[in-house]
Amino acid sequence: MEAMRVKTFLSLLVGFAGFTCQPLFGQDKVDFDRAAVERGRTDFKSSCGFCHGEDATGNRAPDLIRSAITNHDVNGNLLDPVIRSGRPDRGMPAFSNLRDKDLADIVTFLHSQAYAALHSAHVPGDYPVAKLLTGNADRGKTYFDGAGGCTQCHSVTGDLAGIAKKLKPIDLQQRLVYPETRGKQTATVTTADGQSFQGKVKDLDEFNVAIVDASGWYHSWPRSEVKVEVHDPLAAHRELTEKYTDRDIHDLFAYLETLK
């Protein structure tokens, strides 16, 4: 019984640790488990480096740091299936025998590389920023005004005017692929007796939810006792970004870079 409880607690903890380092989206600082990153680096070098380059910036196979899959992955939800099943018809072998633990380390390594690449021009492995600047601005404009649907919410003479002057290239790219969520979510919390509260999310994890309502009152509940519905103003933006191809992202980025 005791052992069981410890185990549940441990798995919650693991889940929780996963949760806190999971949303790369717009966090100022993500603390990666350094040991996992180093284990992942070693595994990556030996199993993947030959094709994807030892630093994952691409070689005979694509760059995994700029990959939309890496950029939108949350705790392996997108990466795991690709790595496990491969794309045998397109030269990506299946790694079905990889241990879960090793796969998780590789995913952590890829996240840390992608995160570092977006946060600094001088990253471990010297990720070349020039690699971010390879799109075509005209195609980007066409996509922005058309298929991309960006004009539903943005305007290059309105909210995005001069965006490239305001943000360094690396930050602009980051905002585009890791839109800032923090501080923008609101939630409706319904208690067991049917009362409903709305406000800005202050705290949200597997154990607690806390909001500040319109009159500035702070409320918090154990997560298990209430129903929580989170409203994320960026959800639509993020959904869209799942549909971009790498080329779209680079074209869009090249276009946004012209907005000075």
**Binding segment (CB under 6 A) for ligand HEC, from list 17-25, 125-133, 147-155, 194-202:** 147-155
User: Residue 131: which of 43, 194, 63 has the closest Cα?
Assistant: 63
Least gap, CB of 219 to ligand HEC (angstroms): 25
Tokens standing for residue 87: 């794309």
Work out whether 259 is an interface residue with ligand HEC (CB under 6 A): no
Instruction: Give the whole-angstrom CA distance, residue 77 versus residue 93.
Output: 18
Say how many C-beta atoms besides its own lie within 10 A of residue 241's C-beta.
Answer: 19
Q: Select from 21, 24, 65, 79 the one that contacts ligand HEC (CB under 6 A).
A: 79
**Binding segment (CB under 6 A) for ligand HEC, from list 32-40, 141-149, 206-214, 221-229:** 141-149
Work out whether 150 is an interface residue with ligand HEC (CB under 6 A): yes
User: Which amino acid makes up residue 216?
Assistant: G
Least gap, CB of 95 to ligand HEC (angstroms): 5
Least gap, CB of 11 to ligand HEC (angstroms): 25
Could you please report the per-residue DSSP string of the chain? -HHHHHHHHHHHHHHHHHHHHS--TT-S-----HHHHHHHHHHHHHHTHHHH-TTSS-SSS--SSS-HHHHH-STTTTHHHHHHH-BGGGTB---TTS-HHHHHHHHHHHHHHHHHHHH-SS-TT---GGGG----HHHHHHHHHTTT-GGGT--TTTTTTTHHHHS-HHHHHHHHHS---TTT-EEEEEETTS-EEEEEEEEESSSEEEEE-TTS-EEEEEGGGEEEEEE-TTHHHHHHHHH--HHHHHHHHHHHTT--
Work out whether 164 is an interface residue with ligand HEC (CB under 6 A): no
| Nearer to ligand HEC among residue 127 and residue 144 (C-beta) | 144
Work out whether 161 is an interface residue with ligand HEC (CB under 6 A): no
| Nearer to ligand HEC among residue 121 and residue 240 (C-beta) | 240
**Binding segment (CB under 6 A) for ligand HEC, from list 15-23, 28-36, 56-64, 127-135:** 56-64
Q: Select from 7, 34, 87, 182 the one that contacts ligand HEC (CB under 6 A).
A: 87
| Nearer to ligand HEC among residue 72 and residue 226 (C-beta) | 72
Work out whether 118 is an interface residue with ligand HEC (CB under 6 A): no
Q: Select from 148, 189, 226, 251 the one that contacts ligand HEC (CB under 6 A).
A: 148
User: Residue 95: which of 139, 140, 48 has the closest Cα?
Assistant: 48
Residues 11-50 that bind ligand HEC (CB under 6 A): 47-48, 50
Instruction: Give the whole-angstrom CA distance, residue 114 versus residue 90.
Output: 23
Least gap, CB of 28 to ligand HEC (angstroms): 14
Residues that bind ligand HEC (CB under 6 A): 47-48, 50-52, 61-62, 64, 67-69, 79, 82-83, 87, 90-93, 95, 106, 144, 148-150, 152-154, 175-176, 179-180, 233-234, 236-237, 240, 252, 256
